[in-house]
Structure 1
C-alpha cells in the first residue's frame, strides 16, 4: 500500500497552528514554564493559591589547566527540585499565611574534589555550587509562615535551611563561595543551607519603614547532613541549638539616585559543643581532632551588603548591582577565620537582551593561623618538611584561597537559562604547592 505524506503534513500543520498547541511553546521567549500553563489551569490554580514548581539545574566544569591533578575531564553535577507554595489566605482564609514543601535530588561529580584540590586539604570553595551534601533525595522545605500586626511581624516554623532567612545573599555565579549565604561553607558542621533542612522557628519584625530585626532558634543535628537521612524528622541526635540574630536596613539612598539596597549585620551563637582547632585540655598541640578539647559553644559574625549602583534607562530591574559579604568566625573552633566576597553583575546591558547579565566575582578565604601551627607541629613530629610534600603522611600547610569568576547569563526565557563562565582558583585549599587552576563551567537552568 502506498503511503502519502501529504495528509500527514496537513494534519500536523493544522495541529501545530491551533490555539491549544500555541499555548504550549516550550522554547518561546516569554514562556514561564517549559511544560506550559497546562492550558490555563496552572495560572488558574495560582490565582486560587496553589503554585507548583519543577526545576532542573545542571552545572558542568572542566579544568583547563592547573589544580592538584591537571588531567582534564568534564564533570557534571545536577539537582532536581519539586516544590509547592501554598497561599493559605486564598485556600483557607488564613490571613497572611503561606506554606512550602520542597523535595530535592542531587547527583553528579565534583571537579574540585577530583581535580582541583589536594585530597588531604580539600578546596574551601567549589567550582560547582550545586554539588555537595550528598547525592540523594532530601526534604528541603516543609514550613508554614504567618504574618501578624498587619504583616509587620512574621513567624516561620518547620523544616528549612538557615540561609533562607539569615546571612542570605544573591546567587549569580557557579562558584560556591560566590553563590548565596557564606556561613554554610565555613561552619558547615552546624550551619546547614539548602538542600539540607533542620527544625527551626524564626521571627522577622519590621519596626520602622526601612528596618527589620530577625532572630530564631534552630536545632543543631549532624544527622540531617548525612546522605541517608534526607528525610530525618526526629531530634534524638540534636547536639544543641543555633540562635541567629540579624538587623536589616533596606534604604533607597540619594547617593545612588534612590536605587534600592539591603544592608545586614548579624551573628549567631551555637550551644553545641565544638572541637578546638589546635589544643587539648592541657594546652598541648594535638594533630588528631579526637585528642583536642571541647568548647561549650561556637559563634560567627557577618556583614552583607547588596546595592544597585546604576539603573539602565531608569529601569530598576536593569543596571549595575554589587554585593559584598564578610564573615568572622570563632578562632578557637573554626578552620577558616574570615571570608570576604565582592561581586558585580550588570543586568540588561543590551536592549535586545534585557534579561541577560554579566557577572564578575571575587571570594577570599583566610585560614586560621592556629590551624597552620597545628599542621606545622604535626609535620615536625614526623620529621617532615615542605620537601616531603609528596609523602602521604605530610600535612599540607593551608594559607589563603582566592576564587574569581567571570560569566554571562543567557536568559532565553523565564523557563530556560544558560550561564557559561570562567573561574580562576588561586591556591586551592590554601596550599601553595597546588597549582593555580583555570576552570571552564556552564550552568543550565530549566523550569518545567
Structure 2
C-alpha cells in the first residue's frame, strides 16, 4: 500500500508521457485513467450507479528554516474508493441518493518531521491529507432524500461534518488553505474527512438563492481512534459524550457588482453539548461554541467560458475562548482558472491563512515554564513548553490538469512562526500534489 502511494514512480511516468492520442492511456481528454470499461461505466451511471477510485499523493521537502533544517522529502497519500447510487433510477425513490466511501491514508508529514518544535501542539500542516491515522476508514455511508420539489433535503448516516457545513473550496496543498476550517481548530468535536460519524441534517431552500441548514452529529472519541483498521469501521455509540449542533445560512447570489457572476456566502454557528475543559483552569464546562463565515465569489470571466476567470474566497472561524486552544482562524485565497487558452483547465492559486492561539493558553504556557524555572526559550530541555502565538501559512501553486483523470500541483509554501513559536525559524517548503482518478 505504501509503495502504491509513493509519488516518484507514477509522477515520472506521467511527466515523460507526451501528447498521447485521444483514446490512449494518458490522453488529455481521458475521463478515467482505466477508461470507460468498453462503455459499461457510462451505462452504469445512466442506470444510477456511479463508482469512483482515486489516489491523492502530496510530497513536501524543506528548503530552508524550520525547527530542523536537515533537508528531507516526506510523502503523504490517500486512497479513496466510493460509490453513489441514484435511487430514483434504481428503486423509483424520487429525489433520493445514497453514498458510500472508504479511505486509506499513509505516509508521513514534513511538518511533524522537520518544521515544528516537537514539544509544541501542532497547528498547520504542509500536507493537508496527512492525519487521522494510517488506517482504513468508512468515511461515508449515508442516504439523502428530498421533499417539496427537493426544496427540503434530509440526510442521515455516517458522514463528515464539513460535507454539509462550513464547506469550502480546496485549491491548495497546505492544510489551512484547503476546505472547511473548523476541523483544523476544534478537531475534538468537529470531524472532517476522512473521519465518518453518525449524524443527520436537514436543509431548506426557502428562496431561490437562500437556504438554511441544521444538523446533529455525535461527539464520540472512538471515531478518531487510530490503533487498527477496526477503529475506522467502529459503528457503535457506546462512548458518545454529547452532540455537535451546527446551523448555517447560505446565500448564492449573482450580484450586479460582479457582473452577475456566481457567489456563495455562508454564516454559521455551532454548539456542542459535550463537556469541555477550560483552557486556563482545567475545570469542566458544560459545552462550547463556534461561529464562522465562508465567502466565495467569481470576480471575472474569461471570454465566453463561465468556468474560466478569477475567484476569491474568505473563510473565518471564531471559537469559544474559554475552552479552545486556537481562538480563531482566517483564510484568504485567490485562484485563476484557465490562465492560458492552451490550458483552459489549469489554474494558478495564491493563498494565506492564519492560526491565532488563545492568549489564555499562551499565558498558561508561560506560567508553566516559570514554575519550572524557565524564563526564555530552551531549545533542548524536554520539559520546556514552547510558547505559542500566531502561525501564518502562505502558498503559491500551479495546477496542471493533464486530463480529467490526472492532476499535478507543484507549490511553494512559506510558514511564518511555525506552530506559533517565534524562536523557530520561518520555513520555506516545496511541494507537489498529484491526484489520479481511476
Q: Is the 8 A contact 1:147 1:153 kept in 2?
A: yes
1:436 is aligned to 2:426: yes
Q: What residue number does 2:79 align with?
A: 80
Relative to 1, partners in 2 of residues 1:344 and 1:105: Cα closer, same or farther, differing over 3 Å? same
CA distance in 2, matches of 1:387, 1:408: 38
Q: What residue number does 1:17 align with?
A: none
Relative to 1, partners in 2 of residues 1:193 and 1:375: Cα closer, same or farther, differing over 3 Å? same
Q: What residue number does 1:349 align with?
A: 339
Q: Is the 8 A contact 2:277 2:285 kept in 1?
A: yes
1:386 is aligned to 2:379: no
Q: Is the 8 A contact 2:22 2:29 kept in 1?
A: no
Q: What residue number does 1:43 align with?
A: 42
1:66 is aligned to 2:56: no
- Give the match's secondary structure for 2:36: coil
CA distance in 1, matches of 2:83, 2:395: 33
**Long gaps (5+) in structure 1:** 1-21, 280-291
1:427 is aligned to 2:426: no
Q: Deviations over 1:302-330 (max 9, x none)?
A: 00000000000032200000110000000
Q: What residue number does 2:221 align with?
A: 222
1:90 is aligned to 2:95: no
Q: Deviations over 1:374-422 (max 9, x none)?
A: 0111011111111534322111111100000000000010000100000
TM-score by length of 2: 0.94
Aligned residues: 416
Q: Is the 8 A contact 2:397 2:409 kept in 1?
A: yes
Q: What residue number does 2:277 align with?
A: 275
Q: Deviations over 1:95-147 (max 9, x none)?
A: 00000000000000010011000111144110000100001100000000000
- Give the match's secondary structure for 2:168: coil
Q: Is the 8 A contact 1:210 1:249 kept in 2?
A: yes
CA distance in 2, matches of 1:23, 1:410: 18
Q: Deviations over 1:63-113 (max 9, x none)?
A: 000001111100000000000000000000000000000000000001001
1:23, distance to aligned residue in structure 2 (A): 8.2
TM-score by length of 1: 0.92
Q: Is the 8 A contact 1:25 1:36 kept in 2?
A: no
CA distance in 2, matches of 1:316, 1:123: 40
CA distance in 2, matches of 1:68, 1:48: 54
Q: What residue number does 1:32 align with?
A: 31
Q: Is the 8 A contact 1:129 1:174 kept in 2?
A: yes
Deviates most, 115-124 or 371-380: 115-124
Structure number with larger C-alpha Rg: 1
Q: What residue number does 1:259 align with?
A: 261
Q: What residue number does 1:248 align with?
A: 250
Q: What residue number does 1:328 align with?
A: 318
1:375 is aligned to 2:377: no
CA distance in 2, matches of 1:359, 1:387: 36
Relative to 1, partners in 2 of residues 1:444 and 1:387: Cα closer, same or farther, differing over 3 Å? closer
CA distance in 2, matches of 1:177, 1:122: 15
- Give the match's secondary structure for 2:43: helix
CA distance in 1, matches of 2:75, 2:117: 20
Q: What residue number does 1:307 align with?
A: 297
- Give the match's secondary structure for 1:147: strand
CA distance in 1, matches of 2:122, 2:235: 31
Q: Deviations over 1:176-197 (max 9, x none)?
A: 0000000000000110001001
